[in-house]
Amino acid sequence: METMPEIGGRAPIAVDVTAGETYWWCACGRSKAQPFCDGSHEGTPFTPMEWVAPASKKVLFCTCKRSGKMPLCDGTHKTL
């Protein structure tokens, strides 16, 4: 039985990221600080995903937790 994360949102969240900075993306869907981890995964099989920004720019982080490009949005939320 495969465990699926909770859906943390139905739309991506735009974030201005800084080149070289590390961001900890929520993989469980439980975080109240979407799209980032707040420790709500404790006691689940999920752990946050480390993502280092390749450039300073605005990116769309996935909140539905179903993207094929995690942690970034690929539009999958439109099919939920």
- Give 22-52 pLDDT, tens digit per residue: 999 999 999 999 999 999 999 999 999 999 9
Report the pLDDT value the prediction gives residue 3, as an integer from 0 to 100: 87
Higher local confidence (pLDDT), 80 or 26: 26
Give how far Cα 62 sits from Cα of 18, 33, 43, 50, Å: 18, 13, 22, 14
Instruction: Return the biggest CA–CA distance within the chain.
Output: 39
What number is the average pLDDT over the span 12-31? Answer: 98
